[in-house]
Amino acid sequence: MLKIKNLHASVEDKEILRGINLEIKAGEVHAIMGPNGSGKSTLAAIIAGKEEFEITKGAVLLEGEDLEDLAPEERAHKGIFLSFQYPVEIPGVSVTNFIKTAINETRKGRGQEDMPANKMLKLLREKGELLEIDRKFLSRSLNEGFSGGEKKRMEIFQMAMLEPKLAILDETDSGLDIDALRIVANGVNKLRNKDNAIIVITHYQRLLEYIVPDFVHVLHNGKIVKSGGKELALELEEKGYDWLKQETVS
């Protein structure tokens, strides 16, 4: 589904990603871990199409198509979803209105009609229940005054509503309390199927106990320095990153 080939990227002449190779197939879950500042969010933003980063070498392909010339919204229409590490606030725009706009603009981008209002309502109700979202949130301004955990839950709610092909969850677990983590992870698991794929960026093994990855990659200094199965996450939890950092130097 997603293929990243020797990706180099920089911002203001500072190289952040230095040759990333990664292949993700439909139905898979990949976890990306790595120290602060290693380039995880940058990688996520580049896949989503943030323009401030410049791809200096390599390519990102979605189902064989080079994404380089696609605007962020076109990538979204193709089914890419990013759960932001720091979701932004949009004052005065209700959660419902925002989601409605997102769904209908995406449908328009795909040449489909608007979603009928009753279908939208039904979907809101269903997914709201799945993620145990209090109805009062639907009429509040998007993320305005939401707690850190509430913002993250709202991101996954949007994911559930948009049903993306490829979802990237950037530290969705940070800020969630124990119960919320379970609810959110549970929600994500329900959305998993053989046709979609998920990239989970996290610092903690705990999330991966709920959302069990097929592969774990360690990003350091803009490169994937180690890949493995779900055990790798446990090993990292135990040993930290120093041993890997040393390995790369050598």
Partner 1 sequence: MAYTEEELKKELETKEYEYGFYTDIESDTFPKGLSEEIVIAISKRKEEPKWMTEWRLEAFRIWKTMKEPEWANVTYKKPDFQDIIYYSAPKKADPNKSLSDVDPELLEMYKKLGISVDEQKKLQNVAVDIVVDSVSVATTFKKTLAEKGIIFMPISEAIQEHPELVKKYIGTVVPKTDNFYAALNSAVFTDGSFCYIPKGVRCPMELSTYFRINQAGTGQFERTLLVADEGSYVSYLEGCTAPSRDENQLHAAVVELIALDDAEIKYSTVQNWYPGNKEGIGGVFNFVTKRGICEKNAKISWTQVETGSAITWKYPSCILKGDNSIGEFYSIAVTNNYQQADTGTKMIHLGKNTKSTIISKGISAGKSQNSYRGLVQIGSRAKNARNFSQCDSLLMGNECGAHTFPYIEVKNKTAQIEHEATTSKIGEDQIFYCNQRGIDTEKAIALIVNGFSKEVLNKLPMEFAVEAQKLLEISLEGSVG
Ligand X SMILES: Nc1ncnc2c1ncn2[C@@H]1O[C@H](COP(=O)(O)OP(=O)(O)OP(=O)(O)O)[C@@H](O)[C@H]1O
Which residues in this chain contact ligand X in the complex, by CB under 6 A? Answer: 11-12, 14, 16, 34, 36-42, 52, 85
Stretch that binds partner 1, among 89-97, 127-135, 171-179, 242-250 (CB under 8 A): 89-97
Q: Report yes or no: 31 and 210 within 8 Å, Cβ to Cβ.
A: no
Q: Are strands 90-94 and 54-62 parallel, antiparallel or unpaired?
A: unpaired
Question: Is there binding between residue 98 and partner 1 (CB under 8 A)?
Answer: yes
Toward ligand X, which CB reaches closer, 131 or 232? 232
What is the rounded distance in angstroms from the CA atom of residue 212 to the CA atom of residue 89?
30
Toward Mg ion, which CB reaches closer, 201 or 232? 201
For the CB of residue 36, give the shortest distance to partner 1 in the complex, in Å.
20
Which residues in the 28-57 window bind partner 1 by CB under 8 A?
A: 48-50, 52
Stretch that binds Mg ion, among 41-49, 115-123, 139-147, 208-216 (CB under 5 A): 41-49
For 91, how many CA atoms within 13 A lie in the half-sphere containing its CB? 1
Residue at 76: amino acid letter:
A
Site residues for Mg ion per CB under 5 A: 40-41, 85
Site residues for partner 1 per CB under 8 A: 48-50, 52, 71-73, 76-77, 81-82, 84, 87-88, 90-93, 97-98, 101-103, 105-106, 109, 141, 158, 162
